[in-house]
Amino acid sequence: MKKLTKTVKCKLILNDEQFNSIKNTLVSFNNACNDILKISDENRIKNKFRIQKLCYHDIKNRYRLPANLVVRAIARVSASKKSKIFNGLSFDLDARTFSFKNMKMSMSSINGRLKNISTCKGDYQRNMLDGKSSTSAKIVYDKKHKCFFIHIAIDYEINDAIPSGNVTGIDMGLYNIAYTTDRLKFSGKQVMHKRKQYIKLRASLQAKGTKGSKKLLKRLSGKEKRWMTDVNHNISKQIVDNNSCGDTLVLEDLKYIRKRIKLAKKQRTIVHSWAFGQLQNFIEYKAIGKGLIATYVDPRYTSQRCSKCGFVHRSNRNSHQFICKECGYTANADYNASCNIRKVYLDTLADGVMSKTPKATPAKAVASPCL
């Protein structure tokens, strides 16, 4: 068995008192970091034990931080490559300064232990965290939404024997939400139609701008989200159910999907608001639950490359049809792309990269914001 670490992001639901306690802890943590940095620079030491020996008590007294937060601040300064001012948006927790159970957490703060903090309960988070324990987390302030998130690092084990089973490539996009090398296809046609209706309805409600229309808008957004979640649950379930224990599912790096789909502005709104990240998360946790591996690759040129002969050219792809200009291979464009995604993964395996580093395995953090 191989151990991997994954980060799961959860929004904290806080009352005013808890919010202020965490905020003050964050400010003190960062002030402490900057002080420690100064001391480390002045004394030209980077080793955390030496820094600790030099300033632990002084920092602890000055900032009234819990002992282990001082240790974390020292560790952070010691690990930082360059001497730069700490930006004040996050601080680190360890086994002594936080715990969580049943989606509730407790953590140390400058005002003592904060207990029974609720976290949001997205399906993804619940499935990833269920029955797991963690010894490391980070509290992160979301400046835009003025709220705190906890990024929990969890360890889980994967079977070393993997990948012994089938390897399935999955292409995601607009025309087909997902297309797999097993020829499982989820057309985006209906989904797109419904999204257009939502967008139209939203625009007309926004134009109205009355109190009633704002209320309706909010309800609409909730309804749309639930519908999208349902669709994603359905697709992910079918993909995972089509495989068995030991099989590998290969997904595209999400950043790449967004970059690749170059569409008219109107369509772009639709694409960017489609929850591909959520779909990937659903596939991932359902896969883990069934003993499959979900892995990510950087699938550059997967839509332009011929999966038969490897020839890459933009003109190979003609709308939804793929016709290789070199060997004449013809296939559905999304199917061809899924074959390439699978191939990228198999090539990495052949290079021996996968066995050495867990980077291309589910260790990669793709945790989504809460639903």
For Zn ion, the binding residues (CB under 5 A) are 306, 308-309, 311, 324, 326-327, 329
Q: Tell me the DSSP string of 166-195.
A: -EEEEEE-SSEEEEETT--EEESHHHHHHH
Residue 29 Cβ, how far from Zn ion at the closest point, in Å? 56
Question: Min. distance of Cβ 330 from Zn ion in angstroms?
Answer: 10
CB of 342 to Zn ion, least distance (A): 16
Q: Which two tokens stand for residue 151?
A: 């990024």
Nearest-approach distance from CB 318 to Zn ion, in angstroms? 14
Query: Given the structure tokens 């490539």, which residue do they identify?
Result: 169
Q: Which is nearer to Zn ion, 72 or 305 (CB)?
A: 305
Least gap, CB of 321 to Zn ion (angstroms)? 14
The H or E element containing residue 11 is strand 2-13
Asked if omega into 163 is within 30° of 0 (cis), the reply is yes
Distance CA 366, CA 259 (A): 17
Torsion of CA 267, 268, 274, 280, to 10 degrees: 130
Q: Which is nearer to Zn ion, 63 or 322 (CB)?
A: 322
Of 33 and 324, CB closest to Zn ion: 324
Q: How far is Cα 311 from Cα 313, in angstroms, rounded to an integer?
A: 7
* Minimum separation from the CB atom of position 309 to Zn ion (A): 3
DSSP letters, 271-294, are HHHS-HHHHHHHHHHHHHHTT-EE
Nearer to Zn ion, 133 or 321 (CB): 321
Cβ distance to Zn ion smaller for residue 256 or 329: 329
Strands 317-318 and 321-323: antiparallel
Tokens standing for residue 182: 């097993």
Closer residue to Zn ion, CB minimum distance, 312 or 349:
312
Max CA pair span of the chain:
74
- Tell me whether residue 108 or residue 338 sits nearer to Zn ion (CB atom): 338
Quote the least distance from Cβ 310 to Zn ion, whole Å. 7
- Report the sign of the C-alpha dihedral through residues 213, 219, 221, 227, in that order: negative
